[in-house]
Amino acid sequence: MRSKAELGASIRGGGRAVLVVNSRSRRGRREYAEALRLLIAARIGFVGLYPVTDPERLPEIFAEALELDPDLVVVGGGDGTLKEAVRHLAHRDIALGLLPLGTTNNFARGLQLPLRLSGAVEVIARGKVADVDLAEIVRDDDSEPEIFANMLSMGLSVKVAENVPHLLKRYVGRAAYPLTAIARLARDRAFTATLTVDGEVHTLKTHQLNIANGSHHSGRPIARDASPDDRLLAVYPLGGAGRVKLLSATARHVLTGAFRTITEPPFVTAGKVGIVTDPPMAADVDGELHPGTPMTVTLLPNALRVMVKQDFPDT
């Protein structure tokens, strides 16, 4: 592995890069050409271009792109595209350059990246390489471990992710998620979650449980001191068993997330957490459905190399 400075110097010197853009994402189709123009103007040396119209092909496209031995993989799309990217880039001497073209862009917000295309390209061309954390899910069955960058959620959010209308996302953006949640809330049932952290057992009843590696959920900060580079998973429910408490906890999350801290309730922080639920629950993992519980989530420190602004606090 090269040092971060060596990899960054190679990228700024016009090193080998590939571009993968999910043109099915909210902004991907209309901004692919402009992104390519700006990246070429910034003297990024591309050896492969992949505008993706079928997201089902993302695994094979990333595998093909990595065969080109790039220094930099520029990825444009939403949370699902990002999840596939980090699965391929984890623990590699390759930097991720992120174009936030999705609906909520949670991981980009956590990395303090500009959400405008021109600003994101500037970071890719002039920024630095940082090492940030990822997380890994292991189930009790024989399924393969699964890596994610930002957030694992279970409960109402899974039903929302499965049922949010695509056209609603297109026209109202991230507001589509709370609107869909409100519509489904009356039918939702609370579940019991048992969390094992450092040998200590926590049991709670809730409609929504989140396990965050990153710092943002639904486009909003979860706490002022949460970060994708803090060596911690932040585990927290939204409310308790009652539906009204879920609504009030969600409102507090939206309004006060930037002011609260992960050192206080309702947060439990850990490097590893075992999760069992009654009933067993599926999970939304960075926008993709996962079989869910029972499972163990483990932090992977400094597992991803990514382009960030020069003043990003890389630890």
Domain 136-302: CATH class, spelled out: mainly beta
Q: pLDDT at position 15, please?
A: 86
User: And the tokens for 115?
Assistant: 């959400």
Q: Could you tell me the CA-to-CA distances from 96 to 83, 140, 159, 172 in Å, in that order?
A: 12, 31, 30, 28
Residues 6+ apart with CB under 8 A from 115: 100, 105, 108, 109
Residues 6+ apart with CB under 8 A from 201: 194, 195
User: And the tokens for 222?
Assistant: 């979860």
Answer whether 4-132+304-308 and 136-302 agree in fold: no
Q: pLDDT at position 39, please?
A: 94
Q: Where are the domains of the chain?
A: 4-132+304-308, 136-302
Q: Could you tell me the CA-to-CA distances from 103 to 34, 64, 153, 175, 301 in Å, in that order?
A: 18, 27, 17, 9, 27
Each of the 315 residues of the chain gets a pLDDT tens digit; together they read: 899 999 999 998 888 999 999 887 667 778 888 999 999 999 999 999 999 989 899 999 999 999 999 999 999 988 788 999 999 999 999 999 999 988 788 999 999 999 999 999 999 999 999 999 999 999 988 789 999 999 999 988 777 766 665 666 666 666 666 665 665 565 678 899 999 998 999 999 998 999 999 999 888 899 999 999 999 999 999 877 776 667 777 777 777 888 899 999 889 999 999 999 999 999 999 988 899 999 999 999 999 999 999 999 988
111, 310 Cβ separation under 8 angstroms:
no
Q: pLDDT at position 252, please?
A: 76
CATH of domain 4-132+304-308: 3.40.50.10330
Smallest CA-to-CA distance from 190 within 132, 252, 245 is with 245
Q: pLDDT at position 174, please?
A: 60
CA 55/CA 251 separation, integer angstroms: 33
